[in-house]
């Protein structure tokens, strides 16, 4: 599943080609995504000009006309820019044709993504209860410490909770916990303020590095500029169960937390 850095990479890739450009036509080949594409979406965006392309958690927010087009890439979705005359292939469900001659094309083999509409002045229910962005000033170790008190759940699923902080998915939670030296199985409520302060810093660092590297290429993800990400070359633990720790040489262990595979080092993480 594309995570926050992949979504941010896509945002940076498509924003210069959308902002200031007018939608000439919307083509919906298959509206059956996770939620049906609104039937009146063409009325909302055709002949309107994109004014901004933002990101909130893993949602892309494209401001246009009287509202915002909300896009989520789901498990296998991607957005890319192609010449308007490019024939559509299987699983290429939506085209947004622009006055520049380019088309923003949405592809989603599994159709777990979403393309929804938010009217100006409203907040879509999917965005209403989200926690702070991990790279913002609102997120820090004090927040993690305060929200974790009396919580018996493991720390990894705790920091993956979007009400605590948004966008810390499986890959980057695994990597940040390793960098902070924290065992992902530890109870969230039994971790000190100092260790949470360290963890918050490592979450920011790992996400910032991944964004600058273009994200992590897994399965079907391709950035909005057509270029894949390369952060996977820097992974210390994610997907490396049974291999040797790059720091101490111990064989990395693997378990399941919150129905997610979790790799960690028994020596480096406590």
Closest CA to 206 of 232, 226, 184: 232
Determine whether 90 is an active site residue.
no
Q: How far apart are CA 88 and CA 94, in angstroms?
A: 9
List 2, 5, 134, 184, catalytic entry: 2
Q: How far apart are CA 86 and CA 176, in angstroms?
A: 41
Which residues line the annotated binding site? Answer: 91, 110, 151
Q: How far apart are CA 216 and CA 8, in angstroms?
A: 11
Token pair 């079907």 is at which residue? 220
List 5, 8, 55, 58, catalytic entry: 58
DSSP characters for 97-153? EETTSEEEEEE-SS---EEEEEETT---HHHHT----TTSTT--HHHHHHHHTT--S
List 56, 204, 260, 267, catalytic entry: 260
Give the DSSP H/E element, type plus range, for residue 50. strand 50-56
Which residues, including other chains, have CB under 8 Å from residue 201's CB and lie 6 or more apart?
Answer: 141, 180
Which residues, including other chains, have CB under 8 Å from residue 135's CB and lie 6 or more apart?
Answer: 204, 207, 208
Separation of CA 120 from chain center: 24
Determine whether 138 is an active site residue.
no
Q: Is 47 within 8 Å of 66 (Cβ atoms)?
A: no
Determine whether 58 is an active site residue.
yes
Task: Give the tokens for residue 229.
Answer: 């990400």
Which residues line the annotated binding site for DNA? Answer: 91, 110, 151
Task: Give the tokens for residue 108.
Answer: 């989603």
Closest CA to 113 of 105, 121, 123: 105
List 3, 97, 175, 202, catalytic entry: 3
Determine whether 256 is an active site residue.
no
Which residues does the annotation mark as catalytic?
A: 2-3, 58, 260
């Amino acid at each position: 599943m594309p995570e926050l850095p992949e979504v941010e990479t896509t945002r940076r890739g498509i924003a210069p080609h959308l902002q200031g450009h007018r939608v000439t036509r919307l083509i919906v080949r298959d509206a059956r995504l996770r939620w049906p594409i609104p039937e009146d979406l063409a009325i909302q965006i055709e002949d309107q000009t994109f004014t901004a392309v933002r990101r909130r958690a893993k949602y892309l927010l494209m401001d246009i006309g009287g509202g915002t087009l909300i896009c989520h890439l789901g498990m296998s979705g991607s957005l890319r820019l192609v010449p308007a005359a490019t024939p559509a292939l299987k699983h290429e469900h939506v085209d947004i044709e622009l006055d520049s001659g380019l088309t923003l094309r949405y592809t989603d083999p599994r159709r777990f993504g979403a393309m929804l509409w938010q009217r100006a002045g409203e907040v879509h229910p999917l965005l209403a209860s989200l926690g702070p962005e991990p790279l913002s000033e609102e997120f820090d170790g004090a927040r993690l410490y305060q929200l974790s008190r009396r919580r018996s759940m493991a720390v990894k699923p705790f920091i993956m909770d979007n009400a605590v902080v948004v966008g810390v998915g499986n890959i980057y939670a695994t990597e940040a916990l390793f960098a902070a030296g924290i065992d992902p199985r530890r109870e969230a409520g039994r971790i000190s303020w100092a260790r949470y302060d360290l963890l918050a810093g490592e979450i920011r660092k790992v996400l910032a590095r991944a964004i600058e590297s273009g994200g992590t290429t897994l399965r079907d993800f391709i950035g909005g500029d057509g270029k894949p990400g390369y952060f996977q070359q820097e992974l210390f633990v994610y997907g490396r169960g049974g291999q040797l720790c790059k720091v101490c040489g111990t064989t990395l262990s693997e378990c399941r937390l919150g129905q997610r595979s979790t790799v960690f080092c028994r020596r480096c993480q406590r």
